[in-house]
Amino acid sequence: MATEVVEPDGSDRAVYTPADFERFRPNTALDMLEQVPGFQISQQDQGRGLGQASENVLINGKRVASKSDSAVGQLSRTSASRVERIEIVDGANFGIPGLSGQVANVIVASGSMSGRFRYRAQYRPDYAPPAWASGEVSLSGTSGNFDWNAALQLGTGRGGAGGGEGIKVYDANDNLLETREALISNKGEYPRLRAGVKWNSPGGVVANIDADYGLAFSRQSVDEWRRPVGGVPYFRDFLNRDEGYDYNINADVDFPVGPGRLKLIGIERFSQSDGPATSVSIYEDGRPDEGSLFYTDSKAGERIARAEYRWDMLGGNWQLDAEAAFNRLDRVAEVGVLVPPSGNANDIPPDERDFARVPFPGGTGGVTEDRYEAILTHSRPLGEGLTLQLGGGYEFSRLSQTGTGGTTREFWRPKGSANLAWSIEPGFDLSLKVARTVGQLSFGQFLATVDLDDNNNNAGNIRLVPQQAWEGTLELKKNLGPWGSATLRGYANLIDDYIDIVPVPGGESPGNIDGQARLYGIGLNATINLDPLGWKGAKITTSSTYENTSLADPLTGVDRAFSGHARFQNDTELRWDIPDSDWALATGVNIIDVDPYVRLFETGRNWEGPVYHYVAVENKDVFGLNVTLSVFNPTNGGNAYNERFVYTGLRDRSPLLLREYAKLNVSQIVSLSVSGNF
């Protein structure tokens, strides 16, 4: 159970020591953090530039200044034996710009060389290939003034669906047009190598450098046996392949200058990926096969230079941030039609078919953005247990696009925030944040794309502008003593220039809508210990969010929800660490409800579940190793659903052309995890 520590200024923090996690037998610092009652990890924003802190996890009171790694990632490679304590504190008390609400500060000590490993295997009886070789092995240690770490990671991705009721296509009068049997399979392999060094000089200089290099191989296939009513049956093969690599180099140095400290940060990132998407139809009556191809070769890079200077003055903390970020995307696109083979087509694998390719000018081009920002932040106590953080500044960006209709535009945008943290009493905290934010554009939306799977092509849009928003969040955290902890959060976003599918020359594409979009939400994270009821070692952990959204539809002007938005999500788990044993049992549910997606010529809804169940059994000492076996969807009760309504023209003024309905099984997923230290 946490110890509530009240600071001289009246603020408080909940402190967890390694003894609080003994029953879980954690191997890593992340294993410990994941068991903190009522706390939910929030990953860092992966937008362009580094910006202010967005991850709600710190290590020794510092944010991780990296785009390719995170505090969570580093804690997953840090031995639990090095953790001295975990503090849950309101972010405004750290004086780190961007932090608000409950933040975990993990205090980690240096140590001798140690290693960790985790092996994962996943097996699905149907629809997806197994993943037998996934996991990571890492080493870390201290030598003099140097801390170092290295890791080899083998990530995998598997997905699939099929069987069930299949897919049925109806006309506007609900007459059956076609039935389909489908098999969807996704496979990905993602190896990565990481290394980093930290130097603490006797003079107070702290320097870090880390780098990683990764490969990516992915393959998505959709096999459909289509049987038109009164027509010729055919087999339709869709295949999307992608291969690429990326590297990241991050360096920073922190040293005293004048009355404060200056931190300089440099980041270099690059990624490349290419691959074709193909769709081939093979008819049973022997007519020539038909097929199309869409190929892209994309190269993206980012270079960041950032300076942070912080000092104490006038009874508070000050920090001046200046950042320059230079981003680029270069893409070459081609389209093609299938060249009929001279022999038996069934003898040729789908990924070896020959296509006559031609350049696709609408999808070929480059986008660059030069972005500069400066923000001044001030944090100060206002009274006992009351802390205020104010920050404000400007962002300037220059967006340039080459290729069809290329143009260059410039934007000035104000941004900033006000955070108020109040320790009402020990164990009861309130946080209020109001912010003016500037969104970022997806460079790929400037260029045209071809969707061979659903025929939803985007024409590209060179007139996109970044969205802006007023965001407000109110958060209440209550320590429930022996019962656990709970955090309740309410939030609202008022968004200008929200991006949705809009009419553009040549068809439809992402674009800015008129009027203001709105999002209102409420979230609850809670851990309830059942020990007070006599069930020793048992607890319930739950996390829920509900969001209501609205925008003016670009065609009708009538308010509707955000396209494809997840309006409700819940993850609840019951875990029992059996006293005086090495065993733990767990069961839980995942629930999700999504709003319909909306395009100009089509509407529909994609969802899964909507309720998935899982069970798990864990032994914390199998020859010194932690072994966990889990089964997701054990009753095969969850399914993948899709419903499409396709119109003859614009949906607000054209009759319905067809309706497509799919219900596919996803099968059980059996996972094995083995972890330990060496």
Confidence check: pLDDT of 109 > 80 = yes
C-alpha 122/C-alpha 380 separation (Å) is: 50
Mean of pLDDT values over 157-171: 94
Least confident segment among 37-41, 223-227, 539-543, 667-671: 37-41
Interval 505-525: pLDDT, tens: 888 999 999 999 999 999 999
Interval 69-96: pLDDT, tens: 888 888 888 888 888 899 888 877 777 7
Residue 247 contacts by C-beta under 8 Å, 6 or more apart in sequence? 211, 212, 213, 214, 269, 270
pLDDT given at position 263: 95
pLDDT given at position 549: 98
Residue 481 contacts by C-beta under 8 Å, 6 or more apart in sequence? 1, 427
Confidence check: pLDDT of 106 > 60 = yes
Closest CA to 646 of 451, 484, 483, 486: 451
| Domain edges within the chain | 3-677
Q: What is the distance in angstroms between the CA of the first residue and the CA of the last residue of the chain? A: 29
b/e burial code for range 282-303 (CB count within 10 A of at least 16 → b): bbeeeeebebbbbbbebbbbbe
Confidence check: pLDDT of 417 > 90 = yes
C-alpha 178/C-alpha 205 separation (Å) is: 69
C-alpha 453/C-alpha 607 separation (Å) is: 17
pLDDT-based confidence at residue 347 (cuts at 50, 70, 90) = low
pLDDT-based confidence at residue 369 (cuts at 50, 70, 90) = very high
Q: Does domain 3-677 have CATH number 2.40.170.20?
A: yes
pLDDT given at position 350: 63
Strands 386-403 and 3-6, bridge-based pairing: unpaired
CA angle 596, 597, 598 (to 5 degrees): 115
DSSP assignment string, 133-149: EEEEEEEEEEETTEEEE
Residue 654 contacts by C-beta under 8 Å, 6 or more apart in sequence? 601, 647, 648
Q: How is residue 73 written in tokens?
A: 């990632």
Neighbours of 616 (CB within 10 A): 18
Eight-class DSSP state of 31: H
SS3 content of the chain, % helix, strand, coil (to 5): 5, 65, 30
The kind and range of the H/E element at 73 are: helix 71-75
- Do 1 and 20 touch, CB atoms closer than 8 A? yes
Confidence check: pLDDT of 374 > 90 = yes
C-alpha 398/C-alpha 411 separation (Å) is: 7
- Do 499 and 512 touch, CB atoms closer than 8 A? yes
Mean of pLDDT values over 373-397: 92
Q: What does the mean pLDDT of the chain come to? A: 91
pLDDT given at position 214: 97
pLDDT given at position 342: 64
Which residue do the tokens 């990565």 mark? 192
Mean of pLDDT values over 173-186: 95
344 vs 500: which has the higher pLDDT: 500
- Do 519 and 562 touch, CB atoms closer than 8 A? yes
Interval 245-291: pLDDT, tens: 999 999 999 999 999 999 999 999 999 999 999 999 999 998 889 99
pLDDT given at position 111: 77
Mean of pLDDT values over 16-32: 88
pLDDT-based confidence at residue 10 (cuts at 50, 70, 90) = low
pLDDT-based confidence at residue 156 (cuts at 50, 70, 90) = very high
b/e burial code for range 199-236 (CB count within 10 A of at least 16 → b): ebeeeeebbbebbbebebbbbbbbbbebeeeeeeebbb
Q: How many CA atoms lie within 13 A of 117 on its CB side?
A: 8
C-alpha 515/C-alpha 558 separation (Å) is: 11
Give the CA dihedral 45, 47, 49, 54, nearest 10 degrees: -10
Interval 474-505: pLDDT, tens: 999 999 989 999 999 999 999 999 999 999 98
C-alpha 282/C-alpha 345 separation (Å) is: 8
Sheet of strand 12-16, all strands in order from the earlier edge strand to the far edge: 3-6, 12-16, 83-90, 102-108, 57-59
Closest CA to 82 of 136, 38, 31, 14: 31
Confidence check: pLDDT of 293 > 70 = yes
Residue 570 contacts by C-beta under 8 Å, 6 or more apart in sequence? 542, 543, 544, 545, 589, 590, 591, 592
Mean of pLDDT values over 235-244: 95
Mean of pLDDT values over 578-601: 95
Q: Compute and round to an integer the Cα radius of gyration of the chain.
A: 27
C-alpha 186/C-alpha 158 separation (Å) is: 5
CA angle 570, 573, 575 (to 5 degrees): 170
Q: Is 32 helix (H, G, I), strand (E, B) or coil?
A: helix
Q: How is residue 397 written in tokens?
A: 């960006």
C-alpha 11/C-alpha 403 separation (Å) is: 56
pTM recorded for the entire structure:
0.89
DSSP assignment string, 277-314: EEEEEEETT-PPPEEEEEEEEEEEEEEEEEEEEEEEET
Neighbours of 534 (CB within 10 A): 7
- Do 473 and 101 touch, CB atoms closer than 8 A? yes
C-alpha 44/C-alpha 65 separation (Å) is: 11
C-alpha 574/C-alpha 592 separation (Å) is: 18
